Amino acid sequence: MDLIIKNGEIVDGTGAPKFRGDVGVKDGKIAAVGKVEGTAKRTIDAGGAIVTPGFVDIHTHYDGQVSWDAMLAPSSINGVTSTAMGNCGVGFAPARPDKHDFLIAQMEGVEDIPGTALHEGITWDWESFPDYLDALSRRSYAIDIGAHLPHAPLRTYVMGDRGADHLAVPTAAEIERMRQLTYEAIQAGALGFSTTRTVNHRTRDGDNIGTFTASEEELLGITRALKQAGKGVIQLISDAYLTDDDDFAARELLLIRTIAEQTGRNLSFTVQQNDDAPDRWRKIFTEIASMRESGLPVSAQVASRSIGAILSFAASANPFIACPTYQKIAAALQGDALVTELRKPEVRAQILAEHADVNFTGNAHAITKGYSRMFRMTDPVDYEPSAETSLQAEADRLGCNVHGYVYDTLLEENGRQLIYLPFNNYSNGNLDDVYGMMTEPHALYGLSDGGAHCGSICDGSFPTTTIGFWSKGSKSGLSMPLESLVHGYTQRNARHVGWHDRGAIMVGQLADLNVIDLDNLSLSPPEIVPDLPAGGTRLLQTAKGYRQTVKSGIVTFEDGKWSGETPGRLVRGEQMA
């Protein structure tokens, strides 16, 4: 054997009961499971630990990062060994040379990835989507990557500037051209096709993304390519989950049903809980069950905790970001100079005066004035904080003006104090509804957005929360079997995107493995790290408890540290066992 992992508690990814045993690895694949005798180049003692397949994250945005980064954190440092990017209809291929700046501005707005980093880091050694895959195939990584063909760049590639306008209707010839290019992409190895239909996805300039109101004719025309190819999956995000308009939600779900009926391909879409419609997710799952009864392979991608913004004077968002004085200072100063200016009493008074006139709704209101749902980040992070620990409650106990109290809190740690704001999946102040979504029979564990939201959200650690938190239980006493959780982030996700060669500890499968100290599996608070091209910063969160991560038989991470090995490659489309 090349590697033997001995004496671990094996959770094999199939959902079957765990068992104690060994795993033998040869030539990048699992060669033996059970009692493995003989010698190996390396033996790992997994006593006191669980051994799982490497996690499969089906919702990330490394489309630009793959140009400059072989490590691909945060996914790789959270036990992920295979990931799918190009989600939500945004990406960087196909791309005409005169549209590079536009695509960067689009990604910067939708996924909060610094444009300066993208400008410096992306190599642009491609134009078509097959070219993009060829460029990725010349590189190696710590994990395997697959890519969806994203709708927004496809639309702009075919329609030119009109493609950026969601009110522009493509001609029949343009729809046919998009279908042809989608077919070519699938044949070249695209995992599938992705699109976005949410008002929350906007460009850097605040414009709706071009795919926002794409017609049924356009979507059905494009996705015929998947039926023609007989392979590929569909991923999308719709506002169906966040609306209190029953008719609108019904129209969106009917569109999803129609696409699934036409293509017959696996389709997944985002489902979260929104405060404006806190029970909408239940109705959506009822409709998904109806689709399944009709034989349609439709699933919901759900999160393992609340979707939470990280607020700080050193991050992309904070409660005072809409104040003109703050905007002017933040545009001119950074780091210590910014904090020094914000500490001045006259500056503080002016910003607080302007803040009194800020009046938003929805998530913008939560970010600027949702103090009863703002919490200090703790170590380890508490992802189910109670209302008594909110900044509003702290200010009330101290008899302080809450606006000024929050301002002063953000100045702590020399302006690097982080505040956690759970804005989706937390309508009732706990994670009971998240549990409800995760235990639905047609749910997929996704939405980590690894590689995205560099300065505002840090959810690439979802796999760690899934395994570490839900196996032990929420504050309400809700928990899930470890075997079910591991299955959700391994075999089930892998099978959904057509990867049948991984996701389970079985002879012949890829030797993608984790050795995990489950008792100590936890997450440290995110840190603001200046490791992007052009000196860009991002929130990065480290995990504790991963003893080893193995990719294709090679140890890539040990006690959280990257070995420097890059056995990961581009995965083109479906992979058979």
Q: How far is CA 197 from the centre of its chain?
A: 17
User: Quick one: which H or E segment has residue 543?
Assistant: strand 543-544
Bridge partners, residue 376, by sequence: 419
3-state secondary structure of 529: strand
For tokens 């000196």, what's the residue?
Answer: 535
Please tell me the distance from the alpha carbon of residue 241 to that of residue 288, in angstroms, as a whole number: 13
DSSP element (H, E) containing 135: helix 129-137
CATH no. for 56-304+432-468: 3.20.20.140
How many angstroms separate the CA atoms of 67 and 127, rounded?
Answer: 14
Would you state the structure tokens that stand for residue 209, as one six-digit string?
């993304």
pLDDT at 362: 83
Contact between residue 519 and residue 556 where contact means Cβ atoms under 8 Å apart: no
The per-residue pLDDT for 524 is 92
Domain assignments of the chain as residue spans, ordered by start: 1-53+469-561, 56-304+432-468, 309-424
Q: Chain-centre distance of CA 110, in angstroms?
A: 13
Taking alpha carbons only, the member of 463, 475, 483 closest to residue 523 is 463
For 1-53+469-561, which CATH superfamily applies? Urease, subunit C, domain 1 (2.30.40.10)
Give CA–CA dist 284/242, Å, rounded: 11
The closest alpha carbon to 273, from 363, 206, 377, belongs to 363
CB-count burial class (<10 Å; 0-12, 13-18, 19+) for 39: exposed
How many residues are present in the chain? 577
Q: From its phi and psi, is residue 538 left (phi > 0), alpha (psi between -120 and 50) or beta? A: beta
Distance from C-alpha of 72 to C-alpha of 458, rounded to nearest angstrom:
14
Position of tokens 């199939």?
14
Distance CA 272, CA 289 (A): 17
Q: 257 to each of 58, 260, 350, how far by Cα in Å?
A: 21, 5, 52
CA 451 to each of CA 6, 85, 396, 433, 488: distance values in angstroms, whole numbers, following the listed order = 34, 9, 37, 26, 21
SS3 425: coil
Q: Residues of the chain whose pLDDT is less than 50?
A: none
Give, for 147, the enclosing helix (H) or strand (E).
strand 144-147
| DSSP E strands, 304-429 | 307-311, 375-376, 419-424
Backbone angles phi, psi at 527, to 5 degrees: -120, 150
Residue among 212, 200, 214, 191 at smallest CA distance from 267: 191
Reduced to 3 states (helix: H, G, I; strand: E, B; else coil), residue 42 is strand
CA distance 552 to 577: 14
* Residue 359: other Cβ atoms inside 10 A: 10
Torsion (CA) 458, 460, 465, 466 in degrees, nearest 10: 140
pTM for this structure?
0.97
Q: Would you state the pLDDT for residue 348?
A: 98
pLDDT at 361 (0 to 100): 87
Cβ partners under 8 Å of residue 173, min gap 6: none
Cα 56 to Cα 536: distance, rounded to the nearest angstrom: 28
Type of residue numbered 339: V
Closest residue by Cα to residue 219 from 201, 205, 238: 238
Interatomic CA distance for residues 81 and 549, integer angstroms: 8
Indicate if the alpha-carbon torsion angle 456, 462, 468, 473 is positive or negative: positive
388: which residues sit within 8 A by CB, 6+ positions away?
none
